[in-house]
């Protein structure tokens, strides 16, 4: 990754539209605030990839139209594999196609990936540790900050080598492998700490969900 390119797209991030995350103090941006932050940091566009929901997508798209940047529709879907709950990042889910078709939450990874492809999207292995898999399998590579709070948007970005006039162009560039991930700035120490303690936060979140369903 390099730091020598302005603009770009941050293709992994979250907003307060994920209602079940409220109360953990790790998400503090509405979809509109996410778009405003993206514009401030000089991004050409940003993806909204909330966990297991597209609830905030329409708000983000409307805000992006006013700000003159691109919002890529997506989600981070939790799959279920044995005792594990892998996250599958999805990009390019057409809002008109999926609005009446629930996301395949807690299905096996193969089912989730097939659903994404059947609905016109692309499925991405999330988090930095997956870059070696992309290299070995000659897969397209993208960058995203996995942002949850203001100040994190745009730290990790994706350069698009095609001209991108809309989110469909961005998705097509990824499919063609015409992308390059890069850092816009050094990753803040607090962001690294948050990443390191994610397993604890996820465990706490699951316990909260169980208590709500009890």
d(CA 105, CA 201): 19
Whole-angstrom distance, CA of residue 181 vs CA of residue 175: 14
The residues, ordered by sequence, that sit 6+ positions from 133 with a Cβ below 8 Å of its Cβ are 125, 139
The CATH number of 9-187, from 3.40.190.10, 3.40.50.880, 3.20.20.140, 3.90.650.10, is: 3.20.20.140
**DSSP character string of the chain:** --S---S-EE--B--TT-GGGTTSSS----HHHHHHHHHHTT-SEEEE--BT--TTHHHHHHHHHHHT-EEEEEEEEE--BTTB--EEEEE---HHHHTTS---TT--HHHHHHHHHHTT-EEEE-SGGGHHHHHHTT--------B-STT-TTSEEEEESS--SSHHHHHHHHHTT-EEEEESSPPPHHHHHHHHTHHHHHHHHHHHHHHHH-
Question: pLDDT digit of tens for each residue in the chain (214 aa)?
Answer: 444 457 999 999 999 998 665 555 578 899 999 999 999 999 999 999 999 999 999 999 999 999 999 999 999 999 988 888 888 999 998 888 887 788 998 899 999 999 999 999 999 877 655 566 666 777 788 989 999 888 899 999 999 999 999 999 999 999 999 999 887 755 555 555 554 444 444 444 344 333 333 3
pLDDT the model gives residue 113: 94
Tokens encoding 207:
């316990």
Cα angle 120, 49, 154 (rounded to 5 degrees) comes to 120
Domains of the chain, residue spans: 9-187
The pLDDT, as a whole number, for residue 112 is: 94
pLDDT at 196: 47
pLDDT of residue 214: 32
> Per the confidence metrics, is the pTM higher than 0.85?
no
Residue 155 · residue 185 · CB < 8 Å: yes
């Amino acid at each position: 990754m390099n730091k020598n390119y302005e603009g770009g797209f941050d293709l992994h991030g979250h907003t307060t539209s994920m209602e079940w995350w409220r109360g953990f103090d790790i998400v503090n941006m509405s979809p509109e605030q996410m778009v405003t932050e993206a514009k401030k940091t000089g991004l050409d566009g940003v993806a909204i990839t909330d966990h297991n929901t597209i609830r905030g997508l329409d708000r983000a798209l409307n805000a992006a139209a006013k700000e003159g940047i691109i919002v890529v529709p997506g989600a981070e879907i939790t799959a279920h594999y044995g005792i594990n709950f892998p996250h599958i990042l999805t990009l390019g889910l057409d809002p008109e196609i999926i609005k009446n078709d629930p996301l395949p939450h807690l299905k096996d990874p193969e089912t989730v990936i097939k659903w994404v492809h059947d609905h016109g999207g692309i499925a991405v292995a999330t988090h930095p540790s997956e870059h070696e898999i992309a290299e070995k399998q000659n897969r397209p590579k993208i960058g995203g900050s996995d942002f949850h709070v203001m100040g994190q948007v745009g730290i990790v970005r994706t350069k698009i080598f095609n001209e991108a006039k809309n989110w469909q162009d961005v998705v097509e560039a990824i499919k063609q492998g015409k992308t390059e991930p890069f850092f816009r700035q050094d990753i803040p120490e607090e962001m690294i700490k948050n990443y390191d303690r994610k397993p604890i936060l996820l465990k706490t979140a699951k316990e909260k969900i169980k208590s709500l369903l009890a």
